[in-house]
Amino acid sequence: MRRVRYHSHGGPEVLAVEEAGLPEPGPGQVLIRTEAIGVNYVDVQLRRETDPGSIWFRPLPGTLTGDVVGTVEKAGPGAGPAVTGSRVAVLLEDACADFVVASTDWLVPVPAELGADAASMLPTTGPVALGALRAGRLGAGETVLVTAGAGAIGHLAVQLARELGAGTVIATAGSPAKLALAKELGADIAVDHGQPGWDDQVRSAVPGGVDVALEAVGGETLHRTLGLLAPSGRAVVFGASAGELTSVPVRSLFGLKSVTGFSLLAWRAADPEAVRTAIAELAGWFGTGRLRAVTGATLPLAGVSRAHQLLEERSVPGRLLLVP
């Protein structure tokens, strides 16, 4: 079988498709034949980082994370033979391969009628979007700001904000195509965050401020987002795609503003049943068409370097998929 590894840190060209033996599932694990892999932007940061002191640094050889959709081929001891043959999705740290091994703990059952694009969003991007909105305690009629609102998580958050009763949804994005997509998916206002005064545009559109902000860019974008919060406004931070981790000045929170950090792994550890319920809700919304999965590009596994180039260029709206 084929698998992806990198043996030095650097650009997309360091990614190599290698031949390897078929992995064997251990206790509580299953072997999955891959149907599709949802690619994650965080791997760009992990692949590039050379400083061992950075949170983005990973030892070599490196693997790529991803949301795998596939069929269980074999169950290991204690995994339960009944799972064999079922279609599942799962977040893995070593995801880019023809076959993968996964623990049964967080396997997500996938209905046969659900497309691989939507199925790839059930383990991670969907729960993050929904969990972040709920962490922000979104109330009916409130104003929501989603930075990177046409990305893998953001395009779901825009739709879910509307589904959960937001009054006004504002999305930022970095290209005309992405801005158009955000509006197509339900954003009332779409702002180019590549423009120097993007936050002033938001301020003009909603002079009273933003009630809930979902922020995953980091750096200066986070600071500007905090400046847009209304009194009692809540910002939920769940990433730093710009690569810049920054502190939050206490003075920026005066006016009853608050910042909450969100992590799917932390949510799974703290309240696993709530996460499973959220995933079931998302599967239902995808199945009925109330939630739309956008795939900006689908490439073969052998094209993984090109996939990472597209991620770095930020040219792909929604999700990017790899297929065997």
Taking only the tens place, the pLDDT of each residue in 291-323 is 999 999 999 999 999 999 999 998 899 999 999
pLDDT for 1: 97
pLDDT for 244: 64
pLDDT for 315: 87
Q: What is the pLDDT of residues 135-194, one digit of tens each?
A: 999 999 999 999 999 999 999 999 999 999 999 999 999 999 999 999 999 999 999 998
pLDDT for 80: 85
**Contact in structure between 144 and 171 (CB atoms under 8 Å):** no
Residue 7 CB neighbour total at 10 angstroms: 11
**% of the chain surpassing 90 pLDDT:** 88
Give the tokens for residue 274: 């709530």
* Domains detected in the chain: 2-120+293-323 (3.90.180.10), 125-266 (3.40.50.720)
**% of the chain surpassing 70 pLDDT:** 98
Task: State the average pLDDT for the chain.
Answer: 94
Q: What is the pLDDT of residues 88-146, one digit of tens each?
A: 999 999 999 999 999 999 999 999 999 999 999 999 999 999 999 999 999 999 999 99
Closest CA to 66 of 49, 41, 88: 41
First to last CA, the chain: 10
Under the banding of pLDDT at 50, 70 and 90, the label for residue 75 is very high
Q: What is the pLDDT of residues 76-85, one digit of tens each?
A: 999 988 899 9
pLDDT for 242: 67
Burial state string for 56-82 with b = 16 or more CB within 10 A and e = fewer than 16: bebeeebbbbbbbbbbbebbbeebeee
For residues 37-45, give the mean pLDDT: 95
Give the tokens for residue 271: 């309240």
**Contact in structure between 111 and 69 (CB atoms under 8 Å):** no
pLDDT for 129: 98
Under the banding of pLDDT at 50, 70 and 90, the label for residue 249 is confident
**Whether residue 243 has pLDDT greater than 70:** no
Q: How distant, in Å, are the alpha carbons of 3, 231, 257, 259 from that of 91?
A: 16, 37, 33, 27
**Contact in structure between 132 and 214 (CB atoms under 8 Å):** yes
> What is the 3 state secondary structure string of the chain?
CEEEEECCCCCHHHEEEEECCCCCCCCCEEEEEEEEEECCCHHHHHHHCCCCCCCCCCCCCECCCEEEEEEEEEECCCCCHHHCCCEEEEEECCCCECEEEEECCCCEECCCCCCHHHHCCCCCHHHHHHHHHHHCCCCCCCEEEECCCCCCCHHHHHHHHHHCCCCEEEEEECCHHHHHHHHHCCCCEEEECCCCCHHHHHHHHCCCCEEEEEECCCHHHHHHHHHCEEEEEEEEECCCCCCCCCCCCHHHHCCCCEEEECCHHHHHHHCHHHHHHHHHHHHHHHHHCCCCCCEEEEEEHHHHHHHHHHHHHCCCCEEEEEEC
Task: In whole angstroms, give the CA distance from residue 194 to residue 302.
Answer: 32
**Whether residue 278 has pLDDT greater than 70:** yes
Task: In whole angstroms, give the CA distance from residue 216 to residue 239.
Answer: 4
Q: Give me the sign of the Cα torsion angle 99, 100, 101, 107.
A: negative
For residues 282-289, give the mean pLDDT: 96
pLDDT for 318: 94
pLDDT for 245: 65
